[in-house]
Amino acid sequence: MQDLTKEDYLNGQVLLIDKPLEWSSFQAVNKLKWAIRKKFSLKKFKIGHAGTLDPLATGLLVICTGKFTKKITEYQGQEKEYTGIITLGGTTPSYDLETEINETFGTEHITPELIYETTAQFIGDIEQAPPVFSALKKDGKRLYELAREGKTVDIPKRKVHVSAFEITSIDKLNVHFRIACSKGTYIRSMAHDFGKALHSGAHLTALRRTKIGDFNVDNAQDPLVFADILLGSEEN
C-alpha cells in the first residue's frame, strides 16, 4: 500500500477492499474510516462505498474518500461481475443461506445440457423481483424488516441487464457461475428464478464480486490488513 498523506485522503482516493465473509459493507467502510481518522487525527472525514455487498457475499468494494465521494454515483452505475454457486433442489425465503430451506423440489430431470441451455433465458434485458429479504424500502421500512415481521409485501419487478451468464462448472447440485450485470441486479433473485426455469427450486449458496467497471478484486485489500498497515506505519 503506497504511503498517502492526510491531504491525499481529503482530496480524494479510490480504495479497493476485499470484503470478508459475514462483514457488512458498512463495517468495512467503518474500519477504514476509523483507521484513517486515527492515523491523521481527523474529526470529520468523508468516506463511502459504491455498491453494497450482502454479509454472506465476499469481494470487491470500491470505497471513495474525501472529494472523491462525489464519484460514488458514477461508479455505482458501472457493470459488475460476480462468481458464485447456485444450489439446486431447494428454496429459501431470502433466496440465499440467510434463511433455512422452506421447500424442496425434484432434480432428477435436470441435466447439464438443460442447465447450460437455461442460461440463455437470463441474458440481455430481463425482469426480476428483488428478494423480500433486501435493504430496499417500502413505506419507509426496509423490506427485510417487514419480512422478519412476517408481513407479505408486493414487490414490483424491475428491468435489469445481464451481459454474461456463464456456467463454469457443475458439481452434483452445485452450479458454479460467472455473471456480468447492470446496477440493481440481484444475483439471489437470479438464482431463485433459475431454479424455477429448471422446473425445480434453487438458492444462492456462495457469491463473490470480482469486478466493478475497470476495478478488479485482484487489486483489493482486506480491510484489517489495510488498517494494520496504515496504523503500523505510524509506529515505525
Spatial contact of 35 and 29, defined as CB atoms under 8 Å apart: no
Tell me which of 3, 8, 18, 54 is the catalytic residue.
54
Q: What is the architecture, at CATH level 2, of domain 6-77+214-235?
A: 2-Layer Sandwich (3.30)
Residue 107: band (very low, low, confident or very high) from pLDDT cuts 50, 70, 90: very high
Q: CATH homologous superfamily of domain 80-212?
A: Pseudouridine synthase (3.30.2350.10)
Give which of 172, 162, 164 is closest to 112, Cα–Cα.
172
State the pTM of this model: 0.91
Domain boundaries, the chain: 6-77+214-235, 80-212
Burial of 65: CB neighbours in 10 Å, binned 0-12, 13-18, 19+: buried
Go through 68-95 and write b for each residue having 16 or more CB atoms within 10 A of its CB, e for each that does not: bbeebeebbebbbbbbbbbbbbbbbbbb
Q: What is the pLDDT of residues 43-57, one digit of tens each?
A: 999 999 999 999 999
Whole-number Å distance between alpha carbons of 133 and 145: 8
Q: What is the pLDDT of residues 165-224, one digit of tens each?
A: 999 999 999 999 999 999 999 999 999 999 999 999 999 999 999 999 999 999 999 999
Residue 8 bears catalytic tag:
no
Higher pLDDT, 152 or 159: 159
